Structure formats: C-alpha cells, structure tokens
Chain A
Amino acid sequence: MSRTDDSPRTDGGTVSDFDAVANEQVGAADRRREWVEEHLLAPGRVLWSDWRARIAVTVLTGYLLMGTVAWVSAAEWGPTIVPRPSPNQGPALVGAFRTLEFPLGTTFSGHSILSQVVHATPAMLKMIGAGAVFTVVVGATLGTVAGYKGGRVDDVVMTLVDVALTIPGLPLIIVLAGALTDSLQGNPYVIGVLLSINAWAGLSRAVRSQVLTLRGAEYVEASRVMGLGTGTVLRRDVLPNLMPYVTMNFVKQARAVIYGSVGLYFLGVLPYNAVNWGVMMNNANSQAGAVSSPAAFHWLAVPMVTVILLSLSLTLLAQSGDRLFNPRVRARHVSHTSDAPAGVNVDRDGTDRTDDEPPGADPEPDPARREEP
C-alpha cells in the first residue's frame, strides 16, 4: 500500500481517524482476483502440500477422466475412444493382462471388461454426486433453519433428525428399494438420493449446534442490527463457517453411496438399466461362479479394485480435508500474507489433525481474511 504525501496520516495525524478516507479504491477486478486467491488458489495449495490429498486428487481426476472418456465415446458426436461393451467383443473369459486388445480380460459372454468398467463410470459419478449434494443441501438447510429460528421450528426439525438418526440406513434403503423396484427405473440420480435417504440427519445436527453458537456472535448480531435480512445474514455470516462440515459430509456421503450402491447392486436389490461395477460383480458371481472358479476371478477382481481405489481416494481426501479449514495452515498459503513476518506461527499438530474436532469452531479469526496494515 503506498502512501502519498498528501495523505493526512503521514504528518503525525492532525486529522482524526474518523475523517481519514481510504485513498485507494479496491476495484471489482481486484476483488475478483482476491476472491480467486482466497477461495480457489490458497485451498488448492494447502491440499497439494499434503501427500494424502495429492494422491486423492490424482486418483479422483483419473476417475473423472474415465467418466469423460465414457461420455465422449458413448456420444454420437464424439470419437469412440473406448467402445461400448457388447457381447462377443472377444472370446469368453480371457484373463486380465493377457492380450492388448482386452487389457482387463473379457466376461463369460465376451464383453471387454475394460469397456464395462469405463462405461459404468458416468452413472456411478452421477449417483455419487446426486447423493452427496442431496445430503449436504438438506442437512445444511435444515440445520441452519433449526438453529437460527429456534423455538417450535427447532423442536420439530430436531425430532425429525433424531428419528432419522436412529433408523439404520441400509435396511431402510433396502426396504425402499425392494418396495419401489418397478418405479425406480435405474435412474442414477434417483438411486443416489435413495441411498442417502437419511444421511442428512448427522450433518443437520452438527450444523445446528454450530449455528446456535454463531447466532450469538457479535458480528452476526451487528449484521442484524444493521437491518440485513435473515437470508443475507445466513449467507454472508453463517454459511462460510459451516463449510468444513459441509465439505466433510460431502466426501463421507460420496463414499457411503459407493458402498451402498455397489453392495446392493451386487446383491441384485437395486434395479439397473446399464452396466455397473456392482452388477459386474453380480454377473461374475452368478454367470461364471467367479468366487469358486479361478478362470473367472478377474471378472470379479477388476470392479473390486475399481471400487476400492475410488473409496480409498475419498478417504484420503477426507483425512486431509480438515487442514483445508485450519486457518493457520491456510494463512501460510495465501500469497498476499506470505510476506508477513513470523507472526503467523505454524503449529506442529496442525499438520496432522485427524480427530473430528470441528475445525470451524476455532474461535480465532481467520488470518487469511485479515487486512494488511
């Protein structure tokens, strides 16, 4: 920040602080740049500095790429990079890593397993996304409303939450899937939501208690006194503090959707209309007895490894995720504060926090947002 000679503060302050006017305008472009720096680049750098997150992001990018390849290959307009799986693409039950044409082998009826795995990805990603978004939106909304409004609304929502928390998820999903077999039609979005049917409850409870403490915070009260509407206060002052919970729950639920969907597809409980990793495992087992016959084991193993890798990368992401919301760690990575003197100390255990202590509850104001003197 440059101070010109006519600045009233250079001559010892003959003008009171209240009369001082900022002599530098922050333009829209600056603000945009700052926003990008603070919300995208800094978190990205924090994540990248952690080996767990590096692995996780790399693997997840691979899955997104796989989904894109499948999407392009299946589209009319795109080149066919990986052909759609079809019967008699090759001989029956070629083992994995035997031929270049079928790198992962073939099924009992000659489908290429690589094609199946790749073409199952888009539906899987849609399912995961739908389930995680549903959980986060419903959980955060109910929790925020209950905590902020209080009173009767709070009582009703919390009773609902308690019931939803107690009902075991998997049996409920199984029963609903069993009762709805004919109306589900294998739509990945609907199935994703179904698999998350009561997962929002835990999040809304955490969000509510967070909102309860925030509601009394001075800056929230200040916004209220200034006459800002409830919506504005919630959006500007409350929601940013909830991001740690929301992000963690997003990742957790993504993992839960993978478990549930693959498990239930494997058991044949969920309806499907396209290839799917769980369905592949089911077919391997029921058509070729992959569990008992060594010749077909690769058919079972490939989707298994696919599922494990995806869920492992999500686990790693969740593990490293709370660093993202640790203000001290993040401050080190925001470039415009990096030249600050040793005032921002690096705490040792900040690099390795795995407990579920809510990082957002840190009473210290976020140094990344502090203005430069």
Chain B
Amino acid sequence: MRYIVRRVAQSVFTVFAVVSLSFGIVRLLPGGPADYLRAQLLQQGGSLTQSQINQRIAAQTNVNVGEPLYVQYVDYMVNVLQGDFGRSIWYDDSVASILGKAIPWTVFIMACALLLAFVVGITLGAFMAYREGSSTDYVGTAVSLVTNSTPDFIVGLVALTFLGYRFGLFPTTGHYASEVTPGLNLPFVVSVVHHGTLPILAISLYSFGGWAMDMRANSIRVLGEDYLRVARLRGLPERRIALRYVARNAILPMYTGLLIAIGFVFGGAIIIERIFGYPGLGYYLIGAIDARDYPLMMGGFIVICVAVTIGVLIADLTYGIVDPRAGGGDRESY
C-alpha cells in the first residue's frame, strides 16, 4: 500500500515536472519561443509598443510575458491542469480539440503495430530457442538483427515507395478516404484499415526483432531449468510443457517491457506519422514545429508525456499481480 501511494505521488510529480519544463522551454530558454517572437516583432517595425508586443506573444505562446514571472508560471500551470493548452495559431482551433481528435488515430496504429510485433516476435523467438543452433535459429537471428537495425522511418519510406507509389497497392497519405462517412460502416472500416496498413507494417517490422531476441534468450534460460526436466520425467505432453512451462515463464520478464511500450505508444510514431501524412499526435507535433505554432507544440508534448506517465505507472502497479513473486515488495520495473 505504501508503495502504491509513493508510486502515484511520484507520477504526479513527474507530470508537474513536465508542465514546468514546458513552461521553462517556452519562457526561459534563451532563443526559445518567447525570445524568438519578441525579436521577430521588434524587427517588423517600431510602431508597436512594449505592451502590444507582450500581448502578441501572449496570444501566440499562451504565456503573458507582461506579468511577473511567478504569476506567468502559476497561470500557465492552472491553465494546463484544466486542460486549456491555448489556441493553435496555424489551425485556429483550440489545442485540446485538435489533440483530442488526433489521439485515437495514434492509439489505433500503435496498438495494432505493438500487438503484431509482440505476437510475431515471441512466436519467432520461441521457435528459435527450441531449435537453438539450427539453421532456423541462424536465419531468425539474422532477420531479427537486420530488421531491428533498420529504423522504422526507413522501412516506411521503402514501403511507401514500392507498395504505395510504384505498385499503387496502398494509399500514400491520410487516415481514411474522403468519400466514406465516418461511423460503423464497412467502407469506412475497410478504408481505415487500408490507410493504416503501411504505417503499422513499418513500425512492427522494425520492432518485432527486439521482442524475438528477448524471447529467445528467456526461453533458452527456461529450457535449462530443473523443473522442465521434472516435467519431462513426469511424462507431460510436450505441447503442455511448451505452452505452460516454457512460454509463460519466458514471457513474464517481458511483461513490464510490454506495458512500458504501451505507455510509450503515444510518442512512438512521430516520424512515421509524418511520413505517411497520418494525422495523429506526432503529425501535429512536427507540423507545429514547422509552423512555429508553439501552443500546439507544447500541448502535444504535454499530452504525450502525461499518457506515457500513466502507462508506466500502470505497468509498475500491476506487475505484482502478474508475477506474485514480486508482489507487494518495493520492486520497480525498470
């Protein structure tokens, strides 16, 4: 119980630190947004008074630079904690509503990619472990190493070039075709899956190798345990040994890794989303930087960080349930 309270308090502190950090980036960083906008406005012409300049900066950064520093800070914190990230300059809409629309798409492709990579990875890893030293093992290891060393955006670009443009099998941008109506109808679902395939493929092709190598190492370790010899001596069917004895114990150490990966889902697809023009969180984050749209940029950053913090917190708190040996103790997952 004490552990849970401590862990939750720590997460709250992390969120607090993230918001403070983003205030620091906007307001205090030399050459940061506030400084940049002031320099721009001063350059444009001398007709603006100091308070007019401050007003403009306030409109564009969500921070009223005319006030004393601590007032700015408190205002900023209060606004953000109420879910008010200001207005996007580029889209002329509230940042919260833009990001709210983007989140489901990011979650969709990342969840699919994560699931696909995990399932393929542990299956391959288990096979490699069972046939350790065979040609299956060598080919599997080589494939895992090569795909895991190819950044996802490179996979994405190659997929886009060939499957998207050259052969025209998949759409090259967007999240669903413009002619379908969003809702629970077949054309819409098909269109969403069709648009999501390449981004999902790119991310999972890059990440399954890591899971496979982890699973292989864990399974080899479990295969050497005494309780497996006992199970074999008892004459248990090989299938049952493979699933109940080996797979379970080999996957267990990867559970926190998986949950932390779920936590990082929100920030993981930034480059891919941009390449495929897929309007998720990362797409808007990069777009905001290109357009120097500071409220949207900082809003995206805070939303991603908070989501990750919650994901990691859940991972830590549930580990004790999944692995009773770690239960209740002051164990931390990373």
Interface residues of A (CB under 8 A from B): 159, 162-163, 165-168, 170-172, 174-180, 182-183, 202, 205, 255, 258-259, 262-264, 266-269, 281, 285, 290-292, 294, 297, 300, 304, 307-308, 311-312, 314-316, 319, 349, 352-356
Contact = CB atoms under 8 A, between A and B. Distances in A.
B289 A269 contact: yes
B25 interface: yes
Given A168-B304, A263-B153, A180 B14 contact: no
Contacts of A166: 11, 14, 305, 308-309, 312
Contacts of A349: 220, 224
A162 B221 CA distance: 30
A262 B271 CA distance: 11
A304 B158 contact: yes
B270 A297 contact: no
A250 B214 CA distance: 20
The B interface is mostly helix, strand or loop, or mixed, namely helix
The A interface is mostly helix, strand or loop, or mixed, namely helix
Nearest to B144: A315
A316 B145 contact: yes
Contacts of B216: 354
A167 to B, nearest CB: 6
B25 A175 contact: yes
Can you list the 9 inter-chain pairs with the closest CB atoms, starting with the nearest?
A183-B31, A178-B289, A168-B267, A355-B217, A312-B149, A292-B165, A354-B217, A315-B149, A179-B32
Given A167-B18, A170-B267, A171-B301, A267 B274 contact: yes
B2 interface: no
Interface string B238-269: 00000000000000000000000000101110
B325 interface: no
A180 B312 CA distance: 29
9 contacts: A166-B309, A166-B312, A171-B270, A171-B282, A174-B289, A258-B151, A308-B150, A352-B220, A353-B217
A354 B308 CA distance: 28
B204 interface: no
B151 A259 contact: yes
Contact of A175 (B271, B290, B298): B298
Given A163-B17, A171-B301, A267-B274, A183 B157 contact: no
A167 B145 contact: no
B150 A294 contact: no
B121 interface: no
B33 interface: yes
B13 A163 contact: yes
Given A182-B36, A259-B151, 11 more contacts: A165-B312, A166-B11, A166-B14, A167-B21, A171-B301, A172-B305, A179-B31, A263-B271, A281-B157, A291-B161, A353-B217
Nearest to B145: A315
A162 B14 contact: yes
A294 B270 CA distance: 26
Nearest to A310: B149
Nearest to B16: A163
Contacts of B300: 171
B98 interface: no
B110 interface: no
Nearest to A300: B157
Interface of B: 10-11, 13-14, 17-18, 21-22, 25-26, 29-33, 36, 132, 145-146, 148-151, 153-154, 157-158, 160-161, 164-166, 172, 213-214, 216-218, 220-221, 224, 264, 266-268, 270-271, 274, 282, 285-286, 288-290, 292, 294, 297-298, 300-301, 304-305, 308-309, 312, 334
Given A308-B154, A311-B151, A182 B31 contact: yes
A171 B267 contact: yes
A258 B294 CA distance: 27
A315 to B, nearest CB: 5
Nearest to A205: B334
Nearest to A315: B149
B270 A167 contact: no
B301 A172 contact: yes
B205 to A, nearest CB: 13
Contacts of A356: 217
B159 to A, nearest CB: 10
A174 B286 contact: yes
B319 to A, nearest CB: 16
A171 B285 contact: yes
A357 B169 CA distance: 44
B160 A312 contact: no
Contact of B145 (A180, A291, A319): A319
A205 B292 CA distance: 36
Contacts of A354: 213, 216-217
Contacts of B298: 175
A319 B145 CA distance: 9
A168 B264 contact: yes
A349 B146 CA distance: 23
Contacts of B146: 308, 312
A314 to B, nearest CB: 8
A361 B300 CA distance: 41
B289 A167 contact: no
Given A163-B17, A174-B289, A281-B157, A267 B305 contact: no
Contacts of A281: 157
B173 to A, nearest CB: 11
A162 B286 CA distance: 26
B289 A312 contact: no
Given A163-B14, A354-B217, A171 B151 contact: no
A167 B285 contact: no
Contacts of A300: 157, 161
Given A162-B14, A312-B146, A312-B149, A171 B305 contact: yes
A172 B25 CA distance: 10
Contact of B154 (A171, A268, A307, A314): A307
Contacts of A183: 30-31
Contacts of A163: 13-14, 17-18
A197 to B, nearest CB: 11
Nearest to B151: A259
